Amino acid sequence: MELREVRDLVIAAVVLSAVFAYQGLNTNTFIANLPAAVLGVALGFLLHELAHRFFARKYKCHAQFQLWPTGMLLAVVLAFVSNGSFIFAAPGAVMIHEAIDVWGNVTPLGKKKYGIVSLAGPAVNIGLAGIFFAMNLINPLPIFSFAMMVNVWLAVFNMLPIPPLDGSKVLAWDKRIWAGVFIFLIAVFLGTGI
């Protein structure tokens, strides 16, 4: 992993952690929320992006996370305007470039593989939400329920069928898979009372 990619991931994770911790102009609430936001975002956001990267590279593509300054600005502004009730979770993305052989021939990724790469990130978030849910059942702590909420939101947000979000690529691959995953995520979202 290149230094620039690591830097971009760290910056995006820090900004997203702050955005999730923010709930209005109350410093005490922000400080109280920050450890849970860092835990939820550090694992949820970073592993989400690394899952995209891993699967893209498995398909012989060049994949690298890149910061999206406009997305970061939108995240901060929308969190501020909504007092933390709406999080725009797109401070960057894994850029995927299809495989090119030694003769310069491009191997197209195709809708199915692109859909699988796109589904990998939200799948990680749902897995983490389940782990935090179980941890909260065993030892009820605000840090676990908050980290669960962060991961549920990351999965739901990213599965929206709006380009360039993951959901648009999954929908282009298979409408039934997208619908099944999205309905499940909405049920989880409503069930957690977020």
How confident is the model over 79-107, as pLDDT tens digits?
Answer: 999 998 888 888 999 999 988 877 888 88
Domain coverage including residue 153: 3-192
Q: How many CA atoms lie within 13 A of 113 on its CB side?
A: 17
pLDDT interval class at 138 (50, 70, 90): very high
Q: How many CB atoms lie within 10 A of CB 192?
A: 14
Mean pLDDT of the 4-15 span? 96
Q: How many helices (H) and strands (E) does the chain have?
A: 7, 4
pLDDT for 1 beyond 80: yes
Mean pLDDT of the 20-46 span? 91
- Residues 103, 97: Cα–Cα separation, whole Å: 16
* Token reading at 17: 């952690």
pTM for the model stands at 0.91
Residue type, 74: L
Domain count, the chain: 1
Q: Measure the CA angle with vertex 92, ends 62 and 117; round to 5°.
A: 45
- Residues 41, 20: Cα–Cα separation, whole Å: 8
Give the percent of the chain with pLDDT over 70: 99
Taken as a whole, the chain contains a residue count of 194
pLDDT at 50: 96
Q: In the block, which residue shows the tokens 């007092």?
A: 83
pLDDT at 194: 60
pLDDT at 101: 79
3-state class (DSSP) for residue 115: helix
Which residues are marked as active site?
49
* Token reading at 98: 């299809």
Q: DSSP letter at 24?
A: S
Segment 43-92, tens digit of pLDDT:
999 999 999 999 999 999 999 999 999 999 999 999 999 998 888 888 99
